[in-house]
Chains A and B, each alone.
Chain A
């Protein structure tokens, strides 16, 4: 079963008005369960829009989005999604543990279950001792880890991330990539991940979706079949060849 089926999707913002934008056109994309897909492309090519369409935070102007073999809207109501954005978007008024428990509260978990779960998730992102802290006491990288823990807390079948590491420095970023891959390996979640960084896309994903702008289209889909990622992967020639392949595809796009 496919986790995501995007069929003939177009998105026009402000149709019929002077500020009309054709953000996406003719998008077809199928994602298998357990895949790690990255969306890459020049800024404004519709990556975030495509992610929000999959999340049913926007509805398409044409075409259909199916998630877990049902309409995206239904998948959202069934709480199939975990989401993370470029800004961690933590709630300052909640402690770190309470932030992670927020989706669980909405889903009616008991207090004990919530406590247990947030403790587990904090261990997973290695922030166990920060449960009672408030977000403003944490560094940017730590906040982003809490946001990921929150997105994963209820074991959603789909994890949607929009440039979640965009604001992090290079060292933290690589560390977070390894953590995300470890978590992905442990949970088997399907991931759709938006990024600006070519090495990040190649390192993380099973497939890289290269998008072109005006209107946003899928220009190429590149398999990143590099096997298990290890410390050596980033220095591998196969890795560099993939990076070059994606770079060439992007160069064609930006023309």
Chain B
């Protein structure tokens, strides 16, 4: 019920925006290549359904696999770093240094490593981009615990792993899911931009560059729309997992005002 309520507002906003978009274009009637009307984009989507569907599958696979690997690595590194001092002293500066690199700019270089038409390089870009927000946020949640909860566990003679399990991990969950919501959109952006430079040629990225190069802007937009759909679906999946994993969290939200 709540989920439906949460969806109705953005859906209505979407309808209004697309309505205004279509209306404004029919009034102003600019040249087609500036911005196609929503109706033209939908038309292109239907005409090129097979290609768009194939592209969505290819890009979707890069996004999902890269996302999963990035999340796993980020969460594991966060656990290591907060559990072992030496891990913290090596991984954290390394991660900060890696994050300072404009990773997306590495796409042409990665292509050389993994082969120009292999999706591996695109996956690697997605993993690298997803890793950092997951790592930093999760580590923050693992550390920023109520000190009296840790003291309480110590007074029960609980060992460090038990404290991690009972206090740190549950405390990090909201931080982790905040990072995941960020990571889903990052992953789609990373995959498509990386595909501009290489990987499989039937993915969404090449479809956008090729259509635009042939001035078939309605088809380029149809591919962009497909990319947006991947992001939206993944975001929804994260929301569902969040609810399942933290049933207590919606309670907290409804009882305390959160900023």
Whether A57 pairs with B251 at a CB distance below 8 angstroms is: no
User: Among residues 114 to 131 in chain A, which have CB atoms less than 8 Å away from a CB atom of chain B?
Assistant: none
Q: Which of A57, A76, A81, A89 contacts B149 (CB 8 A)?
A: A89
A57 proximity list for chain B (CB < 8 A): 151, 154-155
B154 proximity list for chain A (CB < 8 A): 57, 76
Q: Interface residues of A, CB < 8 Å — how many?
A: 25
Check A77/B157 contact, CB under 8 A, given A93-B246, A93-B248: yes
Check A76/B252 contact, CB under 8 A, given A87-B146, A89-B146, A106-B162: no
A5 to B146, CA, bound (A): 30
Check A134/B167 contact, CB under 8 A, given A57-B151, A87-B148, A89-B152: no
Q: Which of A76, A82, A92, A102 contacts B157 (CB 8 A)?
A: A76
How many Å from the CB of A65 to the closest CB on chain B? 14
Check A91/B149 contact, CB under 8 A, given A136-B248, A136-B251, A137-B251: yes
The answer to the question of B158 belonging to the interface, with a C-beta cut-off of 8 Å to chain A, is yes
A57 to B173, CA, bound (A): 27
Whether A91 pairs with B166 at a CB distance below 8 angstroms is: yes
How many Å from the CB of A192 to the closest CB on chain B? 13
A86 to B148, CA, bound (A): 9
Whether A91 pairs with B252 at a CB distance below 8 angstroms is: no
How many Å from the CB of A79 to the closest CB on chain B? 6
Whether B155 pairs with A83 at a CB distance below 8 angstroms is: yes
A85 to B151, CA, bound (A): 10
- Give B138-149 as 1s and 0s: 1 = Cβ < 8 Å from A's Cβ atoms: 000000001011
A77 proximity list for chain B (CB < 8 A): 157
The answer to the question of A146 belonging to the interface, with a C-beta cut-off of 8 Å to chain B, is no
B254's nearest neighbour on chain A, judged by CB, is: A136
Q: Which of B146, B153, B155, B255 contacts A55 (CB 8 A)?
A: B155
How many Å from the CB of B166 to the closest CB on chain A? 7
A89 to B146, CA, bound (A): 7
How many Å from the CB of B110 to the closest CB on chain A? 40
User: Among residues 155 to 191 in chain A, which have CB atoms less than 8 Å away from a CB atom of chain B?
Assistant: 160
User: Among residues 60 to 81 in chain A, which have CB atoms less than 8 Å away from a CB atom of chain B?
Assistant: 76-79, 81
Q: Which of A83, A86, A89, A92 contacts B252 (CB 8 A)?
A: A92
- Give A131-151 as 1s and 0s: 1 = Cβ < 8 Å from B's Cβ atoms: 000101100000000000000
The answer to the question of B108 belonging to the interface, with a C-beta cut-off of 8 Å to chain A, is no
B166 proximity list for chain A (CB < 8 A): 91, 102
- Most chain A C-beta atoms within 10 Å of own C-beta, residue among B149, B157, B167, B246: B157
Check A76/B246 contact, CB under 8 A, given A87-B148, A134-B251, A136-B251: no
B149 proximity list for chain A (CB < 8 A): 89, 91
Whether A103 pairs with B151 at a CB distance below 8 angstroms is: no
How many Å from the CB of A47 to the closest CB on chain B? 15
User: Among residues 160 to 176 in chain B, which have CB atoms less than 8 Å away from a CB atom of chain A?
Assistant: 162, 166-167, 170, 173
Whether A106 pairs with B255 at a CB distance below 8 angstroms is: no
Check A91/B167 contact, CB under 8 A, given A77-B157, A106-B158: yes
A91 to B252, CA, bound (A): 12
A79 to B152, CA, bound (A): 11
How many Å from the CB of A147 to the closest CB on chain B? 9
Whether A136 pairs with B152 at a CB distance below 8 angstroms is: no
Whether B255 pairs with A136 at a CB distance below 8 angstroms is: yes
A81 proximity list for chain B (CB < 8 A): 155
The answer to the question of B85 belonging to the interface, with a C-beta cut-off of 8 Å to chain A, is no
A103's nearest neighbour on chain B, judged by CB, is: B156
- Give B60-104 as 1s and 0s: 1 = Cβ < 8 Å from A's Cβ atoms: 000000000000000000000000000000000000000000000
The answer to the question of B256 belonging to the interface, with a C-beta cut-off of 8 Å to chain A, is yes
Whether A136 pairs with B156 at a CB distance below 8 angstroms is: no
A78 to B155, CA, bound (A): 10
- Most chain A C-beta atoms within 10 Å of own C-beta, residue among B155, B162, B170, B173: B155
B155 proximity list for chain A (CB < 8 A): 55, 57, 76, 81-83, 160
Q: Which of A83, A87, A93 contacts B170 (CB 8 A)?
A: A93
Whether A137 pairs with B255 at a CB distance below 8 angstroms is: yes
Check A89/B251 contact, CB under 8 A, given A103-B156, A106-B158, A136-B256: no
B162 proximity list for chain A (CB < 8 A): 106
15 A-B residue pairs with CB within 8 Å = A55-B155, A76-B155, A77-B157, A89-B149, A89-B152, A91-B149, A92-B170, A92-B249, A92-B252, A93-B173, A102-B156, A102-B166, A107-B156, A136-B255, A137-B255
Given contacts A52-B151, A57-B151, A92-B170, 7 further A-B contacts (CB under 8 A): A57-B155, A89-B148, A91-B167, A92-B248, A93-B170, A103-B156, A136-B252
